Amino acid sequence: MSIRLGLARGLRAARRMRGISQDGLGVSSRTYLSALELGKQTPTLDKLDEIARAIGVHPLSVLYYAYAVDLTPLEVHALGRVVRSEIATLEKYDIAGS
């Protein structure tokens, strides 16, 4: 599955999990949200952040789901380990943070 379709499924699942309609979200038009949830468009990072926060989930949860949607539970766990390890390494090289 493409990352775009994974993201579409994650956004739709998060919105449904919270019981929010596309119209009730209030951050974008229903037409745009529908296009996102069908994988016809891809949001910018800022828009993904805005939509996810309006739904009440962290944007990384939606993005992580997009990559993990077709994985087995064991593969999802392994992906989580990889991400945590890479974040720890990135922190070592983040000059602005030191």
pLDDT of residue 33: 96
| pLDDT-based confidence at residue 96 (cuts at 50, 70, 90) | confident
Average pLDDT (76-95) is 94
Give, for 55, the enclosing helix (H) or strand (E): helix 45-55
pLDDT of residue 8: 98
Check which CATH number belongs to the domain holding 12 and give it: 1.10.260.40
Q: Domain count of the chain?
A: 1
For the cut 80, the answer to whether the pLDDT of residue 98 exceeds it is no
pLDDT of residue 69: 95
Cβ–Cβ under 8 Å, residues 76 and 48: no
Structural domain boundaries enclosing 90 = 3-97
CA angle 77, 39, 43 (to 5 degrees): 85
